[in-house]
A and B are shown apart, each in its own frame.
Chain A
Amino acid sequence: MLRKTAFSLAFIAAAALHWTIAPASAEERFIVVQSTTSTANSGLLDAILPKFKDKTGIDVRVVAVGTGQAIKNATNGDGDVLFVHAKSAEEKFVADGWGVKRRDVMYNDFVIVGPKGDPAGIKGMDEATEALKKIAEAGAPFASRGDDSGTHKKELSLWKAADVDVAHASGDWYRETGSGMGATLNTAAGMGAYALTDRATWISFKNKSELAILAEGDDRLFNQYGVILVNPEKHAAVKADEGNAFIDWLTGPEGQQAIADYKLEGQQLFFPNADKATN
Chain B
Amino acid sequence: MQDFGSAFGLAFELIVGFDTDLLAIVGLSLRVTFAALLISCLIGLPIGAALAVSSFPGRGALVVTFNTMMGLPPVVVGLLAYMMLSNAGPLGVLKLLYTPGAMVIAQTILVTPIVVALSRQMIEDLNKEYAEQFRSLVVPFPTAMAALLWDARFALATVALAGFGRAIAEVGAVMIVGGNINHVTRVMTTAIALETSKGDLALALALGIILLIIAMAVNAAVQGINAKARRNAYA
Direct contact of A and B (CB under 8 A): yes
Residues A20 and B181 in contact, CB atoms below 8 Å apart = no
Binds A, one of B11-19, B66-74, B81-89: B81-89
Q: Please give, as numbers and ranges, the residues of chain B lying within 8 Å of A189 by CB-CB distance.
A: 199
Other-chain residue from B42, B97, B101, B180 in contact with A20 (beta carbon distance below 8 A): B101
CA–CA, A103 and B65, complex, Å? 50
Asked if A95 is at the interface (CB within 8 A of a chain B CB), the reply is no
Q: Please give, as numbers and ranges, the residues of chain A lying within 8 Å of B182 by CB-CB distance.
A: 46, 62
CA–CA, A16 and B107, complex, Å? 14
CA–CA, A240 and B119, complex, Å? 49
Nearest-CB distance from B36 to chain A (Å)?
Answer: 8
Closest residue of chain A to B98, judged by CB?
A32
Binds B, one of A155-163, A167-175, A199-207: A199-207
**Interface residue ranges of A1-48 to B (CB < 8 Å):** 2, 9, 12-13, 16-17, 19-21, 23-25, 32, 37, 41, 46
Closest residue of chain A to B97, judged by CB?
A78
Interface size band for A: 35 or more
Q: Please give, as numbers and ranges, the residues of chain B lying within 8 Å of A21 by CB-CB distance.
A: 96, 99-101, 104
Asked if B196 is at the interface (CB within 8 A of a chain A CB), the reply is yes
Chain A 168-201, CB-CB to B under 8 Å as 1, else 0, gives 0000000000011111011001000000000000
Other-chain residue from A23, A62, A75, A205 in contact with B100 (beta carbon distance below 8 A): A23
Asked if B95 is at the interface (CB within 8 A of a chain A CB), the reply is yes
Given contact pairs A13-B38, A32-B98, A77 touches B198 in the complex (Cβ within 8 A): no
Given contact pairs A12-B38, A64-B180, A24 touches B97 in the complex (Cβ within 8 A): no
Q: Please give, as numbers and ranges, the residues of chain A lying within 8 Å of B99 by CB-CB distance.
A: 21, 24-25
CA–CA, A12 and B199, complex, Å? 42
Asked if A263 is at the interface (CB within 8 A of a chain B CB), the reply is no
Asked if A61 is at the interface (CB within 8 A of a chain B CB), the reply is yes
Residues B199 and A208 in contact, CB atoms below 8 Å apart = yes
CA–CA, A131 and B233, complex, Å? 74
Residues B98 and A63 in contact, CB atoms below 8 Å apart = yes
Other-chain residue from B31, B180, B185, B199 in contact with A19 (beta carbon distance below 8 A): B31
Asked if A134 is at the interface (CB within 8 A of a chain B CB), the reply is no
Q: Please give, as numbers and ranges, the residues of chain B lying within 8 Å of A16 by CB-CB distance.
A: 34-35, 38-39, 104
**Interface residue ranges of A127-159 to B (CB < 8 Å):** none
Residues B39 and A61 in contact, CB atoms below 8 Å apart = no
Q: Please give, as numbers and ranges, the residues of chain A lying within 8 Å of B104 by CB-CB distance.
A: 16-17, 20-21
CA–CA, A235 and B86, complex, Å? 11
Residues B197 and A37 in contact, CB atoms below 8 Å apart = yes
**Interface residue ranges of A55-84 to B (CB < 8 Å):** 61-64, 73, 75-78
Asked if A237 is at the interface (CB within 8 A of a chain B CB), the reply is yes
Asked if B9 is at the interface (CB within 8 A of a chain A CB), the reply is no
Q: Please give, as numbers and ranges, the residues of chain A lying within 8 Å of B95 by CB-CB distance.
A: 237
Residues A186 and B196 in contact, CB atoms below 8 Å apart = yes
- 22 CB < 8 A contacts A-B: A12-B42, A13-B38, A13-B39, A16-B34, A16-B38, A17-B39, A17-B104, A19-B35, A21-B101, A37-B197, A41-B197, A62-B181, A62-B182, A63-B181, A64-B180, A76-B86, A76-B87, A77-B86, A77-B88, A181-B197, A204-B198, A235-B87
Chain A residues engaging chain B, CB cutoff 8 angstroms: 2, 9, 12-13, 16-17, 19-21, 23-25, 32, 37, 41, 46, 61-64, 73, 75-78, 179-183, 185-186, 189, 204-208, 235, 237
